Amino acid sequence: MYVLEVMSGPLDGKTWTFDREITIGRDDSVATACITIDRYISRKHAHLAEESGELRLTDLASRNGTQLDGHPVTGSEPISVGQPFSVGRTLLRVVRNEGDRAA
């Protein structure tokens, strides 16, 4: 299990837990991680998913893009646990859930 955490931005400190995948956006009807107050985030902005034991970050054709290591995410890119990325003006990272004993 993972935790998506806001590192800086309008919802600093907010977290969402997820098992295998989560969608990030401004509209809670299509996004599990809903960040409504960052107007630079699209309705359905980005997606994180575990595939074959690897986390992958995908930009969902958002207006302002998704950034990983200062570069735009194109397609689906691998992301490490703890590696910061940004959507709109919000900086996020994924960490393992502290209750998760599997490494």
- Model confidence over 44-62: pLDDT tens digits? 999 999 998 899 999 999 9
User: With bands split at pLDDT 50, 70 and 90, how would you rate the model's confidence at 103?
Assistant: very low
Return the amino acid letter for 15.
Answer: T
Mean pLDDT, rounded, of the chain: 92
More confident site: 99 or 96: 96
Return the amino acid letter for 48.
Answer: L
Comparing C-alpha atoms, which of 29, 24, 64, 27 is closest to residue 45? 24
Rg (CA), the chain: 12
Q: How far apart are CA 17 and CA 97, in angstroms?
A: 8
**pTM for the full predicted model:** 0.90
